[in-house]
Amino acid sequence: MKISTKGRYALRMLVDLAEHQNEGFIPLKEVSTRQGISKKYLEQIILIFNKTDMLRVNRGAQGGYMLARTPDKYTVGEILRLTEGSLAPVECAEQNPIECERCGICATYPVWKGLNKVVNDYLDSITLQDIVDQHRDINIDSYVI
């Protein structure tokens, strides 16, 4: 499994919105500048989120985006599954019921199923708030003179 730039940038965008949640609606241009991601690419990513209830949008001169929920209600797994699709390492690990004719005799199936569970459990255990808190702690400890 390899996370694409779309998934990585979507996560960075949502973390940025979480870090600035007390500032109201944030223009995409500001996120673009802070994150070093082209505004055009962020606009493509926003299209994915416009079909969900994850963001609130305010159009017009004072427009922008903000999280629809508190940052502790978004998991990395949820975000990556939305942008990447399945996070399964192999196709059969995500199927229910399993369509592979070899499943009953496949010696490697438990490996892939276990890896799928570990990856999803791990990513579902991390929230945007966890990332914001960790990032804040790192920046508090770095002194620049």
Domains assigned to the chain? 5-140 (1.10.10.10)
How far apart, in whole angstroms, are the C-alpha atoms of residue 103 and residue 109? 7
Residue 120's contacts (CB-CB under 8 Å, 6 or more residues apart) are: 77, 87
pTM greater than the 0.85 cutoff: yes
User: Which pLDDT tens digit goes with each residue over 39-64?
Assistant: 999 999 999 998 899 999 999 888 89
Tokens matching residue 41: 């690419």
DSSP string, 40-81: HHHHHHHHHHHTSSSEEEE-STT-EEEESS-GGG-BHHHHHH
- Please list the helix, strand and coil fractions of the chain in percent, rounded to the nearest 5, in that order: 55, 10, 35
- Mean pLDDT (the chain, rounded): 91
3-class SS of residue 26: strand
How far apart, in whole angstroms, are the C-alpha atoms of residue 130 and residue 125? 9
User: Which pLDDT tens digit goes with each residue over 14-23?
Assistant: 999 999 999 9
How far apart, in whole angstroms, are the C-alpha atoms of residue 103 and residue 21? 47
pLDDT band for position 104 (50/70/90)? confident
Contact between 45 and 65 under an 8 Å Cβ cutoff? The reply is no
